[in-house]
Amino acid sequence: MPVHRSGTTGRSIAAAAAALLTVPALALALPGTAGAADLPAGPPGDEIPPRGSAHMGMGVIEHDGQGGLPRTDRAVQTEGVDVSGHQGNVNWSALWSSGVKWAYTKATEGNYYKNPYFAQQYNGSYNIGMIRGAYHFATPNDSSGANQANYFADGGGAWSRDGKTLPGVLDIEWNPYGAACYGKTQSQMVAWIRDFLTTYRARTGRDAVIYTATSWWKDCTGNYAGFGSTNPLWIARYDTTVGELPAGWGYQTIWQYTSTGPIVGDHNRFNGALDRVQALANG
């Protein structure tokens, strides 16, 4: 640091300190610079993940905790997995050999992201012999339900009656980028979900599966019971049993029971034998 020899030393130091204080304020005001007001709110000390990186169940352990694994001697169930961009290229041959018979792949998020590994994951599972489907990670604060349903249907979430394609999934859960309920009231959230589901059915002829967790559903929809008669339930709970289900559903169609299973992490059980998975695919 240079030595100041004039009588202005005190004034120079004060001016430098003022300049340093001014820099952050200027940076916040510069176009394209993210200031605190531009970032989504999150819990203190938590790092907000990059947009597009969300995937099924990423908030389950933080919000609901984690227990043991379910027993294997219950009613017949069919093992499946869900994958997204964070798994990269998936070893479908190894999963098939381990007994996995169906898979869901993340296709889209919000109205701004498409999974760059979608083709390898979606087609790879199909080519190995699995029944496959696609899911959409919803961000209701970004655009309408109809807008995101169309984005999903156009981005890999369409359905075909080939006997090996499952209906699309609306993944509606905790917001990893900000407020858990995306800044919506319970009635607004229900309306957003209905908008998505109605549009998806109009586009594909199928009722979408709803993936959620009971605690989120209670907090963010007020435990709304109106979708249980039309939309199959995929429940997220990492414990020995599925526990309490959201209102309107008497049983789950799919249960995501762990995020630490073999090869890809997220493992699920379809509530029935393989012919029931095929029945859902056939509509």
| Residues identified as active-site | 82, 171, 173
Identify any residues that bridge with 267 across adjacent strands, giving them in sequence order.
Answer: 81, 258
* Distance, CA of 260 to CA of 238 (rounded, Å): 10
Amino acid at 209: V
The answer to whether the CB of 268 falls within 8 A of the CB of 256 is yes
Helix spans in the chain (H): 9-29, 60-64, 92-97, 118-128, 145-152, 186-204, 214-221, 274-282
* Distance, CA of 146 to CA of 195 (rounded, Å): 5
The answer to whether the CB of 85 falls within 8 A of the CB of 115 is yes
* Distance, CA of 226 to CA of 240 (rounded, Å): 27
